[in-house]
Amino acid sequence: RRRTAILISGRGSNMSALLQAAADPAYPAEIVLVLSNRADAAGLARAEAAGISTAVVESRRWGRDRAAFEVAMEEVLAARGVELIALAGFMRVLTEGFTARWAGRMLNIHPSLLPAFPGLDTHARALAAGVRLHGCTVHLVTPGVDEGPIIAQAAVPVLMDDSEATLAARVLEQEHRLYPAALGWVASGIARLDDGRVVLHAPPGPSAGAL
């Protein structure tokens, strides 16, 4: 099982979905750490209740010095022997150095069908654009924000009477299904980088039908 850290900044509902999947010993990722850049992240208490090690590295303490903040994070990650990182509502942009060190080993979930609507306020922007389909994307993290190779996506309809809240809730439900699947594919080697894109390979053996 690949030793995995989940990085959060807030509520942690995606974190909870990943913890639940990883509670199965057959799941290819083991969650060894939940790290928050904010001490008040609600997800920390949820992780502790699930018996997972937690850590806080307050990004505020370093102000604009993102590299120093990341050095502090790297120390915690190294101490736990972390091999994979899953960003789950982690609201800090990472430096090129950090993303390069974790290239191919760091995933993010984003609440839109990338490359549409990178950045913030994705649901409001989808409504304003009048798109009929919206959704979420799990991708590998590269220096360009929300630009990395796509691992998996899920789409939902946009309904005529949707508000930002109703649309966000419909997407979030899909996020909670998609992220555990995508992390499992990376941790097991089913998802591999090939020429800048993620390719899915059928796993060997009798589990091949499970996809």
Cα of 58 vs its chain's centroid, Å: 19
Residue nearest to ligand GAR (CB): 89
Considering beta carbons, is residue 170 or 203 the nearer one to ligand GAR?
Answer: 170
125 labelled as ligand-binding? no
Asked if 143 and 103 count as a contact pair (C-beta separation under 8 A), the reply is no
Cα of 209 vs its chain's centroid, Å: 26
Q: Tell me how crowded residue 97 is: count the other CB atoms within 10 A of its CB.
A: 13
Least Cβ distance, residue 57 to ligand GAR (angstroms):
17
Least Cβ distance, residue 134 to ligand GAR (angstroms):
12
Considering beta carbons, is residue 13 or 203 the nearer one to ligand GAR?
Answer: 13
CA–CA distance from 133 to each of 110, 156, 157 (Å)?
A: 15, 6, 5
The 53-92 contact track toward ligand GAR, x by CB under 6 A, reads: -----------------------------------xx---
Least Cβ distance, residue 131 to ligand GAR (angstroms):
17
12 labelled as ligand-binding? yes
Among 35, 44, 111, 180, binds ligand GAR (CB under 6 A): 111
Least Cβ distance, residue 46 to ligand GAR (angstroms):
10
DSSP H or E segment with residue 3 = strand 2-8
Considering beta carbons, is residue 72 or 172 the nearer one to ligand GAR?
Answer: 172
With b for 16 or more beta-carbon neighbours within 10 A and e for fewer, the 154-186 pattern comes to bebebeeebeeeebbebbbebbbebbbbbbbbb
Joined together, the tokens standing for residue 163 give 């508000």
Q: If you write DSSP's letter for every residue of 115-159 in order, what string do you get?
A: TSS-SS-HHHHHHHHT-SEEEEEEEE--SSTT-SPEEEEEEEEPP
Single out the segment in contact with ligand GAR by CB under 6 A; choices: 95-103, 104-112, 154-162, 189-197. Answer: 104-112
Q: Torsion over CA of 26, 8, 34 and 144, rounded to 10 degrees?
A: 70
What is the C-alpha to C-alpha distance for residues 131 and 157, in angstroms, rounded to an integer? 9
Among 2, 10, 54, 86, binds ligand GAR (CB under 6 A): 10
Site for ligand GAR in 115-154 (CB under 6 A): none
Our answer to whether residue 123 is catalytic in this structure is no
Considering beta carbons, is residue 146 or 203 the nearer one to ligand GAR?
Answer: 146
**Residues in the annotated binding site for (6R)-10-formyltetrahydrofolate:** 66, 108
* Residues designated catalytic: 110
Query: Given the rule CB under 6 A, which residues bind ligand GAR?
Result: 8, 10-15, 43, 88-89, 109-111, 172, 175
